[in-house]
Chain A
Amino acid sequence: MIDAKILSATTFVYFSAFAFYLMRMVSGRESWGRLGSLTALAGLAAQTAALALRWIASYQMGIGHAPLSNLYESLIFFSWSITAVYLFFEWRTQDKSLGAFVIPAAFLFMAYASLSPHIDSRIQPLIPALQSNWLVSHVVTCFLGYAAFTVAFAAGLMMLLKGSLDRAGKNSRPDGAAARGKNDRNLGAPPDNSIPARFVVLIPAPAVLDDLIYQSVVLGFVFLAIGIMTGSIWAHYAWGSYWSWDPKETWSLVTWLVYAIMLHSRYIRGWRERPMAVMAVIGFICVLVTYLGVNLLPGLHTYQ
């Protein structure tokens, strides 16, 4: 089970990447950021290799199938998607501050997969319901969607954190000398060397985060739409009905509707920044319910 060993190691690689990104935020030194990116990329490469090995191993066992068939494999792939989508946005925006907020999610899902005693990491054969060509396209699109929403959630958290730290800073100095977070550098505000203040300085301006939330939500919205559609086609062949209001189906629709509400409010009511951040958090809670929460509800779709 070489793949499981690599995957356990990846957990610690992601933790290191998170630590490096955090060091960058605290020390303000870009070299930590570069180290963080390289570590995250190494983790992604190792994880990709482990998934490939697992895929090959399943064929050697005579039960060949893509490693996307149970809770363990889905957690691994979720973590993989989060890192992949994050690195895509890091490359596009050239901003590494997001890493300290997104990579811990990739780490936590890996840790859950590797450490939870209830999760079976063995390669299992596919039960008849999963023996379908739609398995790969459905799972991949859904998880890329979830991962994009995770990035939006992290950016939302950053915006809310920056907002509350800014307010806290203002309250601690009643003379109102504290500069606004986004103008700190420009105004040459009196240097405040407390760790939260240094941390806040490196969080991008709300307008930048807002754009990031918008872009990642759009990406997730489109991927989730494709995921729901491929799932519907699959259900049409497997269950005889393209939609059966099964809890997972229903929650995926709820999630999609929450983001639809968010996008409509942005266009029509001009929502920017804080309300977008709040919606990104609410949307991500729906993603978690869709992914894990519905396993507590009865339905056709639960993970084994």
Chain B
Amino acid sequence: MAKKNPLRSFFASVKLAVVLLIAIAAASILGTLIPQQEAAGPFIARLGPVWASLLLNIQAFDVFHSFWFVTLMALLAVNLIVCSLDRLPRTWRRFRSKGDPELIGLFADLSADRIITTERPRAEAADRLTSLLKKIAGPVERRDRGERIFLYTNQGAFSHFGVLIVHAGVLIMMAGVMVGLFLGFEGYMNIPEGESAAVVSLKGGRGEKALPFSVRCDRFILEFYENGAPKTYRSDLTFHQNGRDVQSAAVLVNHPVTFGGIRFYQSSYGVMPGGNPVLTVSRRDSKIMEVEITPEMAFALPEHKATVRILRVEDNLMDMGPAAKLGVAAPTGNRQFWVFAAIEQIVAANPGILEQVPLFDPASFAPYVFSLRMPERRPYTGLQAARDPGVPVVALGAALLMAGLLTVYFRSHRQFWILLETAGDGTRISVTGRSNRNEAGMNRELNWLTAAIGADGEAG
């Protein structure tokens, strides 16, 4: 054999693979103990500056995307490729090998219970054995060598490739991850009910991505169980492209929707802050001004030299909804009173309330009438948008990995040999076999086979 390149033998060694696996496992544990990415902020703040900068320098807050973690993965990939190529010729030889039982010495010191004699002549015994063997071990190959007949079965030779298939699966999965990394994207979009959006904010603050279509949130539905636990998060979406609504679909947790090659997932929800309440001033049923109010602000009324000061703003005053307390300063005297957003309903529910409680009368400063309007607080749906062309590749790799594992652990290369020799008037039958795994199982099968041959011999 030619002398091996030292670099090649380094990368072909299983020792390297084990060291890399240990390193990857250790790094992964580190990545679960140190808060990662967005979660790292508060942790970094608690660290001293020396530690913080040290850990930042070794990318400890983004272990799984760090240069050194990716390097470990790349080394593992090289290791797998070189090691598998190195094994390939040997595996191929084992796959093809029919083996000569006499050369391997399998018949050399066979125990007595693996040798049976029958009264049948050799040729007849061989025919009967062929059909028996075929039933339990598949196609039978027969070789006549002078006075002796060999019967041979060869099953599961493919199992030698199991390890290579597992390694190929891992490599293909790695390739799929790379495809997703370079050609895919992942991000979020928050869309208020009734509005559309066409821009995705990419994960990890990596900018924005404009979509070639827009997504409208027609409705966001939140349902609860009786015990208060959430039952359903659902967004009814409409995809709008080239000036028309193309598709409407409901997105639920566990039920994403794909449009234009991009998958949309129900990820979160919330309420858009609505901004400040708006105070409207009317005079003789005509609106004269609208002011967005904040507590402590003041503005002048256009006539009567009056100044309105906002004393308080309440979200829910005495269970009667949002209200603002105004103080009006005018040459004719000062007044304070409340303006309720829902004044019409309050009056309808409590007839005569304005007479009883003049403090609640929005027309307290005649001839002006004040009214309050709260901005809409609209619920929004938080969608995750992602495209990952690597997924089918990863899935293929995973399927190979699984098929390989099952081959490695639950399939074996089983070969049976039966030798028939004339002995006196009858035939001596020797039975042997070998397996690349599970010697104990092979022995059981050989015992069973010799017993079956013995029974068959007596049956004639």
Contacts and interface: CB of A to CB of B under 8 A. Distances in A.
A236 B18 CA distance: 30
Interface in A251-277: 251, 253-254, 257-258, 260-261, 264-265, 267-268
Interface residues of A, number: 41
B388 to A, nearest CB: 8
A183 interface: no
Contacts of A124: 227, 229
A131 B22 contact: no
B409 interface: yes
Interface stretch (A17-25, A103-111, A225-233): A225-233
A143 interface: no
Given A222-B405, A232-B398, A132 B17 contact: no
A128 B24 contact: no
A222 B263 CA distance: 31
B14 interface: yes
Contacts of B409: 218, 221-222
A247 interface: yes
B21 A257 contact: yes
Question: Which interface class (under 10, 10 to 19, 20 to 34, 35 or more) fits B?
Answer: 35 or more
A284 to B, nearest CB: 15
Contacts of A232: 398
Contact of B405 (A221, A241, A258): A221
Interface string B1-29: 00000000000001101100110110011
A128 B405 contact: no
Residue picked from A225, A234, A265, A297, most chain B C-beta under 10 Å: A225
Interface string A109-138: 000000000000000110111011000000
Contacts of A222: 405-406, 409
A240 B186 CA distance: 8
- Specify which of A127, A218, A267 lies most central, judged by the most chain B CB atoms within 10 Å of its CB: A127
A13 to B, nearest CB: 31
Contacts of B401: 225
B267 interface: yes
A236 B390 CA distance: 12
B254 A63 contact: no
A229 B398 contact: yes
Interface of B: 14-15, 17-18, 21-22, 24-25, 28-29, 31-33, 35-36, 39, 64, 177, 186, 225, 227, 229-233, 252-256, 263, 265-267, 384, 386, 388, 391, 394, 398, 401-402, 405-406, 409
Sorted nearest first, the 9 A-B pairs with minimum C-beta distance are A128-B253, A240-B265, A268-B14, A240-B384, A247-B32, A132-B254, A257-B25, A125-B225, A245-B64
